[in-house]
Amino acid sequence: MVIENDYKKEVKAKILQSATTMFFQNGIRKVKMDDIAAHLKISKRTLYEIYQNKEDLLYEVVVLNDKRGLEKLEEFDKPGVNVINITMHFF
């Protein structure tokens, strides 16, 4: 069972990464679950075993990117930080 869970974690991470990129590049409405599965060369069944629907996947993409954004913003609070360099990497 551990192997299956590790595999699912790996596939889930790849789905999140690809979906994030595809949503930002093509727009949320244009990207279908079929497109994500095809891009990753996984079956739609595998995709739907991890995410029940596009809304669930989109929610996790938003949460993940929100966390990343907060982590980047926290860089501003560190002493001696060059705000210009951080701003350049942030946008």
**89 vs 78: CA distance, rounded Å:** 16
Give the domains, in start order, of the chain with CATH numbers.
2-90 (1.10.357.10)
- 81 phi and psi, to 5 degrees? -85, 140
pLDDT at 72: 67
Please enumerate in sequence order all residues whose Cβ is within 8 A of that of 51, keeping only pairs 6 or more positions apart, or say none. 15, 33, 57, 60
Residue 11 confidence (pLDDT) above 60? yes
pLDDT at 21: 94
Write out pLDDT tens, residues 13-50. 999 999 999 999 999 999 999 999 999 999 999 999 99
Residue 1 confidence (pLDDT) above 50? no
Write out pLDDT tens, residues 48-65. 999 999 999 999 999 988
Q: Which two tokens stand for residue 33?
A: 């679950």
